[in-house]
Amino acid sequence: MPVAPGTPHGTARSLALFIDADNLCDPTALDHVLTDVRQRAERVLYKRAYGRAESLKAIESVLWRHGVRPVANMIVNKVTTDSALVIDAVEAVCTNTIDAVAICSGDADFVPLATWLRERGCQVWCFSLADRIFANPESFYDDVVLMELVAAPAAETPRAAVPEPPAPVEPAKEALSAAATEQDADQRVLKAFPALRSGLPQHLNAVVAALRQQGILAPSQKTAVWFRQHGAAFRLFPDPAPNRIVYCPLPVRAPAVPALASAGAPVPAPPLSSSDPSAVVRQDARLLARLRQAAQDSQEADGWATVSALRMQLGAKAVFDVRSHGFATLTKLLLATQAFELRAVGTPQVAVRVQPVVPSRAVPAAPVAPEVVTWPSRQGRRPAPPLPAPLHALRASLQRLALQRVRREDVLQAVPELVFGAPCALHAVAGRLRDKGLLAPAQSALRILERHPQSFEIDLLHHPQSVRHVGPLAR
């Protein structure tokens, strides 16, 4: 069966997720599954993982990050895990209005459960590792998503230091040919998986499956080795077992043509090595602009911003991961850019301030992107206080009804800056809607704006994320 990246078979209003941790206990694969499931449903009512204590321990960090409830089985045999999962799944469907059920297991023991759920009118999805799925699963599930584990790159054995004879100087044509070959490989990867062009981290499993399907990557070829040889513009992280990939093209440099010895010309300095992450980030104008904007949006009255506030402005790790730029922490990345002042480094109170940029007369200024209107937000997004299950469901229903009553005119009255069609920062618009009581503290402004696609144009690809009014009142 070919392994392909999962595409949503459909969206559900309410979903129940059940994980067989004895069958699917790989943290990387499970993190990919939970991220995919979150995009398939408006609400996930049940998130539970069943298995032995050692199986749950192996995925403890992933369960905690995604809010999955672990359920340890009785130490009798494997059947207790399957039985507990089946009983809870049947009880959940019988006592709640559930549109879809996701079963994270490739075990054929759950086929009767999948059949019963389909007869009850539920969509049934299966998530499993490619080497642990039973035969012909499409006959019993509405959608089957298979994942392939990518092995970590093998450590290279150091060779003895044997002096080699001096290699002859190759002509510039061969250097140009090698550079063209690398660029061709990069374009083939981008064509097979266009989402990489956005510059955002992508799941490595999905990219590898697309490359194997297009014949770019052989079934038996190691992924990390292939990208190290042919994909210099792509970075795999985290080490030593990568599960994400990001496209970070480096500036193209013309190959240096060696001068003749008789010419007496000075030997040019070697080009800057792209293996130095500090040098790379200092040349990345897009990254520096994004960091400066985030620092300005989170700074206090004295001009300083805490690094934790800056981290929140940059977004979740799935959107901005400092490891993709070669650094373990955001503080180390800021120090490497040499564009910020930092104080109290090494303490929880570490803060950052943008250094003034001295304009250079020799270099013309880069074209300025369209200015995004922003203002300080008094009410940021924060989680709602926990409630018992019945009250939680009631609160969610009331908030959903309240969002449906918000009209385009209510948004424009609350945020008059949108009336004239100027792009406004999304976080500032959300704060204004919360100030006016149109949006709950735990809700995203997208829940309102996406209901009026003919009136609002949303830009989530650039920083800061912005929204623009395109209705008849815009000038």
Tell me the C-alpha distance between 10 and 41, whole Å: 9
Farthest-apart Cα atoms in the chain, separation: 89
Amino acid (1-letter code) at residue 23: N
Write the CA distances from 454 to 411, 419, 458, 462, 472, integer angstroms.
Answer: 14, 14, 11, 21, 10
C-alpha angle 391-394-395 in degrees, rounded to nearest 5: 85
The DSSP string of 56-85 is HHHTHHHHHHHTPEEEEPPSS-THHHHHHH
Residue-averaged pLDDT of the chain = 78
Residue range 261-314, pLDDT digits in tens: 444 444 444 444 445 677 888 888 888 888 888 888 888 877 888 888 888 888
Let me know: does 7 contact 206? Beta carbons within 8 Å: no
Which tokens hold the place of 357?
Answer: 């940029």
Residue range 185-228, pLDDT digits in tens: 888 888 888 888 877 778 888 888 888 888 888 887 888 888 87
User: Is residue 17 pLDDT above 60, yes or no?
Assistant: yes
- Would you state the pLDDT for residue 175? 45
- Which residue is it, tokens 């104008």? 285
Amino acid (1-letter code) at residue 214: Q
Tell me the C-alpha distance between 68 and 37, whole Å: 12
Pick the residue with more confidence: 214 or 365? 214
Q: Give which of 420, 429, 424 is closest to 448, Cα–Cα.
A: 429
Range with the poorest average pLDDT among 133-147, 150-164, 190-204, 241-255:
150-164
The correct answer on CATH 3.30.420.610 for the domain covering 277-354 is yes
Q: Where are the domains of the chain?
A: 12-147, 175-247, 277-354, 389-469
Of 37-41, 102-106, 176-180, 425-429, where does the model show the most confidence? 102-106
Alpha carbon 52 to chain centroid distance?
A: 30
Q: Give which of 95, 89, 145, 88 is closest to 118, Cα–Cα.
A: 89
Q: Classify 473 as helix, strand or coil.
A: coil
User: Which numeric CATH code is attached to 12-147?
Assistant: 3.40.50.1010
User: Is residue 115 pLDDT above 90, yes or no?
Assistant: yes
Tell me the β-bridge partners of 124.
Answer: 101
What CA dihedral angle connects 30, 35, 39 and 41, to 10 degrees?
Answer: 50
- The number of helices, as runs of H, and strands, as runs of E, in the chain is 16, 15
The answer to whether the predicted template modeling score (pTM) of the entire model surpasses 0.85 is no
User: Is residue 77 pLDDT above 70, yes or no?
Assistant: no
